[in-house]
A and B are shown apart, each in its own frame.
Chain A
């Protein structure tokens, strides 16, 4: 079966972006086109998959066609992919599958979200739009609330503490401070992060990702056309995806995400790698507790030892076995919901091609993983990448 590689990737800066939907998408698409080493034209694109949740309600239908129209991809078969915050992780998987199936050679996967063009009251639109609305909403839950429930239970079962979460926040801000595309490019002290405004007890402001605008775009190619575009592709070595019950109360455990363990198991198996081979991982840290649990679910830490992993700084840039969120993660780089998954791929693409500056390059990076979660864990896409094809 055909192998698939990433041959181009780009994104906007995340944060309060001055442009609207069409401008942001065009900026990300151009960045991706320009990143291709060889000659590339959008006319070579066979298919496109664009992830987003809702654009704040401003363009609910036919959004993907609107975006391709404004990025020189007019006429390309395109559709919007929606799986909450994992939308573009799944768009990437769909693009990979389109090539794997033999139906396409060059495919675009991307994502976009415009979150900050709303009034303060309207901005509440984004709180908890992807949970089990009928039951969780009437219990007052938004995503800060659901992840707070997970955090408190993890503390109870395993003895992890809020200080462990603070360490994750401090680490990701330290990484993001070096990333010119990050929403929040500044370091945060342990003391400041520990004393943040309480959002959903025990999670403070410094445990929560910001509300970001952003777009990201990735170009995938079949092995027989890769050479046209680059001599240093990033190969997609494994793709895994899974889903789980939407509501926390319908899951046997809330201190692990079954969708992550299942998706990563499949991606590892397909890639031939284990967690011990991964040099860097872009992990879905919409809340710090999400990264703590992900380090366990992805196998970087033993079950119940995610807090210890964070405390010992084992995910810090070039300081442990694996660098977790070299980009700053959702916490610092930002979380423009639909754009996050392919935004993670943009970071991995640059890291594995040794194109990262500002002292943020992961040394000797050969393999990488992206982990993109929808909502509180109902959907998850995990991808494993390598510099080598086999």
Chain B
């Protein structure tokens, strides 16, 4: 049997051959709660990414309510079971009432371990953030000025969450573009490593941040953005995660993890955010 416990993508992880348990590290008044930019979908994606990293491959999984099937599929490449394919599924994903998800191999008798590690968060701060997300999800909260429609977001979501880069001969391009400088279409796709080095960074105050962040940025004391030289070549700009210290410097190594970015028109936009290694 193989297994272990670790910190993975900013979450607490325990796993063996027949399960993967992922929990938020944060608690509030004894209950495990999500960090500022996490939810069951981001935990579920992290769980599957770990399982895929250790193999063997998983092609199909059943998901419960509360996990965004489309985002999960785009971020992991794993199909989500429907009514017809459910019986052929070997893995089920379960979510807890708290900030916990577990991937379980079907038809096995599993006793999930208890993870004691936790960081207590301020109840007032946590409540304010939850309220901000709730308001952000409402249709009446609309951005001002430039705007990414749900269709435009969805078109680029796979590239956004998996760093799916384009190959033009020896050249790797990300984010994807329609034609390269010679007017050619891409030769194929390649998944880039979710890691880079800080080329520059800034912390935007609430006053300087886009309106999409106007409800949460004041609570968070601003938002931090990095320009990364990705390990596989291209550059990209990314927000840092909101629930960890973000004292970055040029030259720092950064891991990229899937988190919530903002919500608009009742739809959460997920994407990659940076964590200092």
Q: Which residues of A contact B (CB under 8 A)?
A: 121-131, 133-142, 144-145, 148-150, 152-153, 156, 197-203, 247-250, 254
Contacts and interface: CB of A to CB of B under 8 A. Distances in A.
B148 interface: yes
Contacts of A126: 145
Q: Give 10 closest A-B pairs by Cβ, nearest first.
A: A148-B202, A139-B237, A125-B145, A124-B211, A249-B235, A153-B200, A124-B144, A149-B200, A125-B144, A133-B146
Nearest to A199: B208
Contacts of A121: 144, 211, 214
A347 to B, nearest CB: 28
Contacts of B147: 133
B202 A152 contact: yes
A200 B207 CA distance: 9
Given A134-B156, A138-B269, A201 B210 contact: no
Contacts, number: 130
Interface of B: 144-148, 152-153, 156, 160, 175, 199-205, 207-214, 223, 225, 227, 234-239, 250, 261-262, 269, 271
Contacts of A250: 235
Nearest to A255: B200
B160 A138 contact: yes
A148 B224 CA distance: 11
Contacts of A141: 204, 210, 225, 237
Contact of A200 (B144, B153, B205): B205
B156 to A, nearest CB: 6
Nearest to B212: A137
Given A134-B153, A145-B209, A156-B200, 4 more contacts: A137-B212, A198-B205, A199-B208, A248-B235
A139 B271 CA distance: 9
A175 B84 CA distance: 73
Contacts of B239: 138-140
A131 B261 CA distance: 18
A288 B242 CA distance: 29
Contacts of B236: 135, 139, 249
A139 B250 CA distance: 17
B212 A127 contact: no
A122 B227 CA distance: 28
A149 B201 contact: yes
B225 A145 contact: yes
B227 A201 contact: no
A298 to B, nearest CB: 23
Contact of B225 (A127, A149, A254): A149
A270 to B, nearest CB: 26
A139 B146 CA distance: 13
B148 A156 contact: no
Contact of A248 (B144, B214, B227): B227
A126 B234 CA distance: 29
A140 B201 contact: no
A200 B146 contact: no
Contacts of A133: 146-148
Given A137-B146, A156-B250, A144 B156 contact: no
A312 to B, nearest CB: 26
B208 A145 contact: yes
A89 to B, nearest CB: 21
Nearest to B271: A138
A200 B201 CA distance: 10
Contact of B199 (A128, A130, A138, A153): A153
A142 B204 contact: yes
Contacts of A139: 225, 236-239
Contact of B237 (A122, A135, A153, A201): A135
B158 to A, nearest CB: 14
Which of B160, B202, B210, B238: most chain A Cβ within 10 A?
Answer: B202
Nearest to B237: A139
A142 B144 CA distance: 12
